[in-house]
Amino acid sequence: MDNNEIKKIKEEIEKLKKIEEHVKNKYEELLKKEEAFLTEINEQLEKEIIIMVLGAIKKTVNKEMVTLKLLRKNIRRQVRHQINKEITRSIQKLIPELKELIKNEVKDKSVEIINQLKRQTGKKLEKEVIEQVKETTSILREQKEESERKAILDGLTGTFNRRYFETKLEDELALAKRFRMKLSLLIIDIDHFKEINDTYGHQIGDIILQEIVAVIKNNLSSTDFLCRYGGEEFAVILTETELEKAELLAEKIRKAVEEHIFFTGSKIIPVRISIGIAEYPTHSVIKQLLIEKADKALYVAKNSGRNNIKVAVKED
């Protein structure tokens, strides 16, 4: 091997060394870039994980806050209910005494007025006597109006009673006939209410009846009339309301009850209702037949799985 060949080999070796050095530098450069890229990716992942965890925590906290608010709301409602019951019980005990007191007071006032008339004369005295008589009469009138008001209200729920319903429906049907207007009637029944009473007691059943009334009233207008028809049944007179609007309102009420949280203090009770609908004059022009039509529609709703609404069948 001559010197030229040796020289060429050395040059090739030098080139290879340079190439090796260049490759090595490139490899280290790539390693650094990869490390920087992985670091950036890890930081991004950490941020996303933190955001996800914080989001989950926030969602859980919000959910718990909503539950806590509902619990507080229901606890306050039950406390108010219990206080109202205690007040009502105390008032009931005092009513006989109050009646006797009023009776004696009126009697004493009358005797006093008569004695004054006997002892004194003159226009001034006459004016005072008249004022006293007016005051006594006003008190008696207020007591009479209060008695009449109680006579048409249901003692438990505070809504109109069956007696008022019968009279009011008859009056509204007469108006509808006179002015050729539509009128719709809803009959509402609480599903499986007997099981609720048997399981949780009648006190809880009473609370549910009161809350049902509140939910229904929130969805009615000032021209609608809610009455306790009997037991767990309620009737709603929808004046100047055609069947299509009555169906929409009935479904709104059904859904509102379904979504309402009935809380016993230790457990949430799912409560559902079924509704029967009838319209004047489509289904009947007679009060009793209209009620029967709505009641039959309710019966169909009950036998169709409950928690739904049904419209009365129009007979040819």
> Which residue in the list 172, 211, 232, 279 is annotated as catalytic?
232
Q: Which two tokens stand for residue 299?
A: 């019966």
95-133: string of b/e by CB count within 10 Å (b at 16+)? eeeeeeeeeeeeeeeeeebeeeeeeeeeeeeeeebeeee
Cα–Cα distance for residue pair 57/40, rounded to 1 Å:
26
Q: Are 257 and 273 in contact (CB under 8 A)?
A: yes
What contacts 285, CB < 8 A, 6 or more positions away?
173, 177
The question of whether 40 is a catalytic residue gets the answer no
Closest CA to 190 of 310, 275, 77: 275
Q: Which amino acid is at 284?
A: S
List, edge to edge, every strand of the sheet that includes 224-230.
224-230, 233-239, 183-190, 273-280, 309-311
Catalytic site residues?
232
